[in-house]
Amino acid sequence: MGISPRSTTTAGDFASPFSSSFRASSPLAHESLARDLAEFSDDEVDVDVQGTGDGGSDSDVDETVGPMLYRRPSLVPFGSSRPSLNLGPSGPHDDPALLTRLERARSRDAERSLLRDNHILPPKHAISQQQKGHAGPLTSLYKRVFSTKLPRGSGDEEAPPRIVIGPAETTPLLGGEERERGRAVTREEHEHLNARWEAAVAAGQIKTTWQREAKTIAVYSRSLVITFLLQYSLNATSIFAVSRLGTLELGAVTLASMTANITCYAPIQGLATSLDTLCAQAYGSGHKQLVGLQLQRMLYFLALLLFPIAAIWWNAERILASMIEPDSAALAGQYLRILVLGAPAYAAFEAGKRFVQAQGIFHATTYVLLIAAPTNVFLNWLFVWHLGWGFRGAPLAVAITQNMLPLLLFLYVWLVDGSQAWGGFRKAALRNWGPMIRLALPGMVMVLAEWFAFEVLTLASGKFGVATLAAQSILVTVSSTTFQIPFPLSIAGSTRVANLIGAQLVEAAKTSAKVTIVGGVVVGLFNVTLLSIFRYKIPMLFTQDPEVIELVARTLPVCVVMQLFDGMAAVSHGLLRGIGRQEFGGYANLVIYYIVALPISFGLGFGLGWGLTGLWVGVTFGLLLVSLVEYWFMWWSDWNVAAKEAENRNAAG
């Protein structure tokens, strides 16, 4: 169920040979930036000459010199049951020039930690031989299993040779100890660490352990899982609230959600991905206020597109009635007419997310969702059940919640952080739309192509009747919810592998990839176990209709098997992004889903009369085939070539 997500990425001017960035160039972003700069004099634009967005002191400048091993996990369009499809390097990737001070400090800590684990730097806390001798068997076992340090050889001659970098005249004699006490790190100490790190990498002495990679990927994943589950809950809650009203209502809400996804949410998310390039390009160049200019352009552009979308939603009943039975079409049309009230806010939030993410403010959307998600649950209960508004209450709750999202994000930017990149309203936002549109349209096509491949199954299930459409609604909701675990894991794995590839640590990247693959299998087996145990309980959370329950229970075994392949495919997509081969994954997905999986689904579902089970067998086989093809490609790929390509891109700036 997971096609490769698109990394939220940037294209600044940082060009260290051991940078963690794994970028692709974006001439359109450069063109847009050049046009904007030509329209403003130097005193109209706030320029941060270092391009960090911090405008800090000399110590900040020192921290950006040299390799950057740490990178925040890549962000993707939240709030969808399907991630966006990435067909190639049409947008840039996370740039270390946009790391915050804290993140740059974490990069330095990660480098020091790896140097200590490889016994190139002395340990942070020295342990005497007497202390080692008093270690009990349980302590020794714990360290053997969970320690991130590489084991030393049996003799001193097998230990890696210590790399010694001569101190400068101004190097403190007690630099390491002083640093632990909180003293500011000097330029000489940064250069000393950079030289030692680069020498160790060049000598091939930096290796990693599965324990370290498991810990890193787990830390990257945990917050992403929470964020993904929170935003996906906005749509899932309305399905839960409506499901108890009846079988007709349950199928209609899924049909309406599918229509909203294809006609509005997917296009808006795809178009907004251009800001991942444009906003980050402007911010990384040091012209922070041009970030707000790019945001304004996208808001105006999306506002124009909302008029035809509103027209489609307003007449959705007649459009859908030509394809499925009239009662479901009538309710779905009613749902969409109310949901129109939230479409402008949804567009504003998608653009606003990119505005704050370009500044490295990734936690803002999480804070917003921590408020909005519980409110959405309350509003669904209040409108659908307490006030007795029934089916109409669910879209109204969603629309109100969608209007809350940009408002809360605006308050965060205004009161907390992010307003420095706004710069006020400008007439220039009505010009220079060409680069934005040329970047936005491919993103929209990629998202729509992937989304449609899955949502078309919901439309096809409506051909079997109301009960089958309701069962499809339950299956889609369950499988999309479970997907919110392996998908963030794939993002974390992609980020870590890209970091190590960018730092020329190919063997370490392979170790991290293996850990991520195992993690994907473990998560898949967890989902398999969960759905197997509650096979008959899950449909009862949504409905009491015996026919729907039986349909779901009959199809769930296929859905259970799919969970394992879903986790494997999600991880394979992420690893392809990590080594810069996402275009292969994009084309593989298109070919397999449209030429193999969907024809099998329709052949089994309609041709052989397998019904809903046949539809899901096709996509399950498609996921298995996608994961096998992508793992085969990665197995035979030369990762050293990927590392060399990353080095060349970073050196080119």
Q: Mean pLDDT throughout 322-334?
A: 85
Q: Which of 243-257, 426-440, 481-495 has the lowest mean pLDDT?
A: 426-440
Spell out the residues 6+ positions from residue 139 whose beta carbon is closer than 8 angstroms to its own.
none
Q: Mean pLDDT throughout 327-337?
A: 90
Which is higher by pLDDT, 624 or 498?
A: 624
Q: Which two tokens stand for residue 490?
A: 């794939």
Half-sphere exposure of 36 (CA within 13 A, CB side): 32
pLDDT above 90 covers what percent of the chain? 19
Strand partners, 47: 287
Taking the C-alpha atoms of residue 618 and residue 598, their distance in angstroms, rounded to an integer, is 6
What pLDDT is recorded for position 75? 54
pLDDT in tens, 60-94: 444 444 556 666 665 554 445 554 444 444 333 44
Which is higher by pLDDT, 430 or 40?
A: 430
If phi over 0 gives left and psi between -120 and 50 gives alpha, with beta otherwise, what is residue 400? alpha
Could you write out the DSSP letters of every residue in 508-540? HHHHHHHHHHHHHHHHHHHHHHHHHHTTTTTGG
Taking the C-alpha atoms of residue 433 and residue 107, their distance in angstroms, rounded to an integer, is 37
Q: Does 456 have pLDDT greater than 70?
A: yes
Half-sphere exposure of 511 (CA within 13 A, CB side): 19
Compute the radius of gyration of the chain from its Cα atoms: 26
pLDDT band at residue 153 under the 50/70/90 scheme? low
What pLDDT is recorded for position 176? 45
Name the 3-class secondary structure at 93.
strand
Any idea of the CA torsion for 80, 86, 90, 92, to the nearest 10 degrees? 70
Asked if 570 and 489 touch (Cβ cutoff 8 Å), the reply is yes
Q: Mean pLDDT throughout 590-595?
A: 86
Q: Which of 424-428, 431-435, 440-444 has the lowest mean pLDDT?
A: 440-444
Name the 3-class secondary structure at 10.
strand
- For residue 143, give the amino acid letter: K
Asked if 408 and 395 touch (Cβ cutoff 8 Å), the reply is no
What pLDDT is recorded for position 40? 64
Q: What's the DSSP call for residue 164?
A: -
Which is higher by pLDDT, 399 or 447?
A: 399
What pLDDT is recorded for position 432? 78
Q: Which of 21-30, 231-240, 283-292, 475-484 has the lowest mean pLDDT?
A: 21-30
Dihedral sign (CA 400, 484, 93, 85): negative
Q: Mean pLDDT throughout 449-456?
A: 72
What pLDDT is recorded for position 461? 83
If phi over 0 gives left and psi between -120 and 50 gives alpha, with beta otherwise, what is residue 246? left
Q: Which residue has the tokens 């936005």?
A: 440
Taking the C-alpha atoms of residue 188 and residue 175, their distance in angstroms, rounded to an integer, is 10
Distance of CA 317 to the CA centre of its chain: 34
What pLDDT is recorded for position 614? 92
Q: Does 37 have pLDDT greater than 60?
A: yes
If phi over 0 gives left and psi between -120 and 50 gives alpha, with beta otherwise, what is residue 625? alpha
Q: Does 109 have pLDDT greater than 60?
A: yes
Could you write out the DSSP letters of every residue in 224-291? HHHHHHHHHHHHHHHHHHHHTT-HHHHHHHHHHHHHHIIIIIHHHHHHHTHHHHHHHHHHHTTBTHHH
Q: Which two tokens stand for residue 519?
A: 């993690």
DSSP alpha helices (H): ranges in 135-209?
Answer: 137-146, 175-180, 187-202
Spell out the residues 6+ positions from residue 473 whose beta carbon is closer than 8 angstroms to its own.
239, 243, 250, 251, 253, 254, 458, 542
Phi, psi of 287 (to 5 degrees): -95, 75
pLDDT in tens, 184-200: 555 556 666 667 766 76
Average pLDDT, the chain: 75
Q: Does 400 have pLDDT greater than 90?
A: yes
pLDDT band at residue 473 under the 50/70/90 scheme? confident
Q: What's the DSSP call for residue 503?
A: T
What pLDDT is recorded for position 310? 93
Asked if 8 and 365 touch (Cβ cutoff 8 Å), the reply is no
Taking the C-alpha atoms of residue 453 and residue 622, their distance in angstroms, rounded to an integer, is 11
Asked if 263 and 312 touch (Cβ cutoff 8 Å), the reply is yes
What pLDDT is recorded for position 33? 67
Q: Which residue has the tokens 């399905």?
A: 239
What pLDDT is recorded for position 8? 34
Spell out the residues 6+ positions from residue 469 whose beta carbon is closer than 8 angstroms to its own.
250, 251, 252, 254, 255, 324, 328, 458, 461, 462
Q: Which two tokens stand for residue 614?
A: 């046949």
241-to-209, 334, 383, 645 alpha-carbon distances in Å: 46, 16, 10, 50
What pLDDT is recorded for position 126? 58
Q: Does 585 have pLDDT greater than 80?
A: no
Q: What is the pTM of this model?
A: 0.75
Q: Which of 185-194, 363-372, 594-603 has the lowest mean pLDDT?
A: 185-194
Taking the C-alpha atoms of residue 114 and residue 268, their distance in angstroms, rounded to an integer, is 41
Strand partners, 287: 47
Asked if 498 and 11 touch (Cβ cutoff 8 Å), the reply is no
Length of the chain: 653
Find the angle CA(530)-CA(534)-CA(537) to the nearest 5 degrees: 150
Phi, psi of 154 (to 5 degrees): -70, -25
Q: Which of 95-104, 265-274, 294-303, 407-416 has the lowest mean pLDDT?
A: 95-104
Binning the chain into helix, strand and coil, the percentages to the nearest 5 are 70, 0, 30
Helix (H) or strand (E) holding 411, with range, is helix 393-415
DSSP alpha helices (H): ranges in 58-208?
Answer: 58-64, 101-117, 129-133, 137-146, 175-180, 187-202
Name the 3-class secondary structure at 210.
helix
Spell out the residues 6+ positions from residue 130 whose beta carbon is closer than 8 angstroms to its own.
none
Q: Which residue has the tokens 């100490």?
A: 189
